[in-house]
C-alpha cells in the first residue's frame, strides 16, 4: 500500500503515472456536477491520483484518468450528453476511445468504452461496475 499526501492508502500498479490527489473542493464540484451518485471507489482513486495514466490488464488498453476538474467541466458534460446520452465520461485510452459510466440503467453503473465519433456503434462493456474496472488498473481500495 502506498499512502498519498492525504494518508489514503491504495494499491496501484507500478506503471501508473499519476498526479497529486484531487482536492476536497474538486471532488465536491465533481459530486455536484455528476448526474448520478458515482461509486465511492471512483472518488477514492481521484483522491489518490487526480488524473493519471497506466496500462490496463485487459488486452490492448491504456487508461488515462481524467482529473476531477475535467470530469466535472459543464461544457464537457454537455458535449458528451449530446453525443452519448446517459454516459458519464471519466477518461480515455489516449487514442480516441473513451471510458464512461453507463448511467442508462440502474446502479451499479457498468463501465463502457466507446469511440467519440460513433458512440453507439462502438460501445462495449469493459466491466460490470467500477470496482471491477479498478482491478484492471491493478488498483483496489484498502480493506
Residue 132: predicted pLDDT: 94
Euclidean distance between CA atoms 65 and 104, whole angstroms: 22
Q: What sign for the dihedral angle of Cα 36, 18, 113, 72?
A: positive
Q: What share of the chain is helix, strand, coil (3-state, %, to 5)?
A: 30, 25, 45
- Whether residue 99 contacts residue 56, with contact meaning beta carbons closer than 8 Å, is answered with no
**77-127 pLDDT tens trace:** 999 999 999 999 999 999 899 999 999 999 999 999 999 889 989 999 999
What are the helix (H) ranges across the chain?
A: 24-33, 40-48, 68-71, 74-83, 119-122, 130-136
The domain segmentation of the chain, as residue ranges, is 2-136
Per the structure block, which three cell numbers stand in for 111? 463501465
Residue 60: predicted pLDDT: 65
Comparing 7-16, 89-98, 133-142, the range with the smallest average pLDDT is 7-16
Euclidean distance between CA atoms 57 and 61, whole angstroms: 8
Structure pTM?
Answer: 0.86
What is the mean predicted confidence (pLDDT) over 35-63? Answer: 91
For the cut 70, the answer to whether the pLDDT of residue 9 exceeds it is: no
What is the band of 137 on the pLDDT scale with cuts at 50, 70, 90? confident
Q: Residue 60: CB partners within 8 Å, gap ≥ 6?
A: none
Fold designation for 2-136: SMI1/KNR4-like (3.40.1580)
Higher pLDDT pick, 109 / 11: 109
Euclidean distance between CA atoms 124 and 46, whole angstroms: 24
What is the band of 61 on the pLDDT scale with cuts at 50, 70, 90? confident
Amino acid at each position: 500500500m502506498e499512502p498519498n499526501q492525504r494518508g489514503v492508502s491504495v494499491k496501484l500498479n507500478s506503471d501508473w503515472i499519476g498526479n497529486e490527489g484531487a482536492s476536497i473542493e474538486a471532488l465536491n464540484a465533481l459530486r455536484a456536477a455528476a448526474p448520478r451518485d458515482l461509486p465511492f471507489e471512483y472518488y477514492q482513486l481521484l483522491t489518490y491520483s487526480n488524473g493519471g495514466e497506466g496500462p490496463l490488464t485487459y488486452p490492448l488498453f491504456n487508461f488515462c484518468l481524467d482529473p476531477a476538474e475535467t470530469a466535472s467541466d459543464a461544457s464537457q458534460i454537455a458535449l458528451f450528453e449530446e453525443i452519448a446520452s446517459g454516459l458519464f465520461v471519466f477518461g480515455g485510452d489516449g487514442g480516441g476511445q473513451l471510458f464512461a459510466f453507463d448511467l442508462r440503467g440502474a446502479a451499479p453503473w457498468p463501465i463502457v468504452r466507446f469511440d467519440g465519433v460513433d458512440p453507439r456503434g462502438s460501445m462495449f462493456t469493459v466491466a460490470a461496475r467500477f470496482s471491477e474496472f479498478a482491478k484492471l488498473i491493478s488498483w483496489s481500495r484498502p480493506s
